[in-house]
Amino acid sequence: MVVTDGTGKVQKQFARYAGRDTNNVAEYRGAIAGLKEAMDMGADEVEMVMDSELVVRHVNGQYACKAANLKPLLAEVKDLMRRFKKVTFRNVSREHPMVSRADGLLNEELDTMAHLTPRGKPNN
């Protein structure tokens, strides 16, 4: 996750290994963590920039969320969104600078986890 201020200056960046979830679950958990981080920082407006078209379109109401495992995560995102004056979700390509930076942080975290667990396999 890369958190920037209104000028684009990086305020915080980090990655967390969250177990062996699907990519969509991981993307939702990232959105939830980002919204919680924005709350902790006292933000009243948030722009979430993600490469997950599915999450962005669920949140923006363009796709119906039919997957039972994603419905509670979408509900949590929507609940967190109500705590801000304005929240926008925007889909960008993986090549977007902030997405590339976040992916790099995640890869470092996965490499660390691989070295800390037997046979290079992260535990759930």
Cα torsion through 82, 84, 86, 89, rounded to 10: -70
| Residue 80 forms part of a structural domain | yes
Instruction: State residue 81's pLDDT score.
Output: 97
In the structure, what pLDDT confidence band is assigned to residue 91 with cuts at 50, 70 and 90?
Answer: confident
pLDDT tens for residues 102-112?
555 555 555 55
User: What is this structure's pTM?
Assistant: 0.73
Residues facing residue 4 across a β-bridge: 10
Specify the number of domains making up the chain.
1
**Higher-pLDDT residue of 24, 108:** 24
CATH for 28: 3.30.420.10
29: left (phi over 0), alpha (psi -120 to 50) or beta: alpha
Domain that holds residue 36: 2-94+107-116
| Residue 123 forms part of a structural domain | no
45-59, 65-79, 102-116: the lowest-pLDDT one: 102-116
| Residue 76 forms part of a structural domain | yes
| Residue 121 forms part of a structural domain | no
| Residue 49 forms part of a structural domain | yes
